[in-house]
């Protein structure tokens, strides 16, 4: 149910699910230059989120985090994943079975590294988050394999 309105000269307004508000809220689409992103993010966060990089497995902030809370986009703060959907995939990256709401992410085909994968991006600011694979646990069978550098965590 992502609603998109872009009137001449007006900011794009989208509807996203907010965990804190337990419902949908209107937010502007975030658009920044590379220079603005570079000044707001660490070098690793910039490389991962804006250049579609990846971090090392088993050497990142959230691969083994077990606290209850919400994982948000490090660039714009949008709620992305709940800790209840996080599971141990054995890959060395934080893995989730589902996003907070389908509207909060978007996917795109990724043909890099001589393969075809499904990239996961933040629907509000287009940050590269990671990839989704069809080898996750039941019932959905999906594994959202995310980069810790693309996430921030807010403890419950």
Report the distance separating Cα 154 and Cα 122, nearest Å: 17
Closest CA to 101 of 5, 6, 21, 45: 21
Catalytic pick among 76, 122, 125, 145: 145
Q: How many residues does the chain have?
A: 156
* β-bridge mates for residue 25, sequence order: 16
Token pair, residue 68, equals: 């209850």
* H or E element, residue 43: helix 43-51
Residue 73 a catalytic site member: no
Residues marked active site are found at 145
């Amino acid at each position: 149910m992502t609603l998109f309105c872009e009137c001449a000269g007006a900011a794009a307004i989208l509807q996203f699910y907010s965990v804190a508000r337990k419902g949908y809220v209107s937010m502007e689409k975030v658009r920044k230059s590379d220079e603005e992103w570079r000044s707001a993010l660490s070098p690793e966060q910039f490389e991962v989120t804006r250049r579609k990089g990846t971090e090392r497995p088993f050497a990142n902030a959230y691969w083994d985090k077990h606290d209850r809370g919400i994982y948000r986009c490090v660039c714009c703060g949008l709620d992305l994943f709940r800790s209840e959907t996080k599971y141990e995939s054995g890959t060395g990256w934080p893995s989730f079975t589902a996003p907070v709401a389908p509207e909060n992410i978007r996917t795109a085909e990724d043909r890099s590294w001589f393969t075809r994968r499904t990239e996961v991006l933040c629907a509000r600011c287009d940050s590269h988050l990671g990839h989704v694979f069809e080898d996750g646990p039941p019932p959905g069978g999906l594994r959202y394999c995310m980069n810790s550098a693309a996430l921030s965590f807010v403890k419950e």
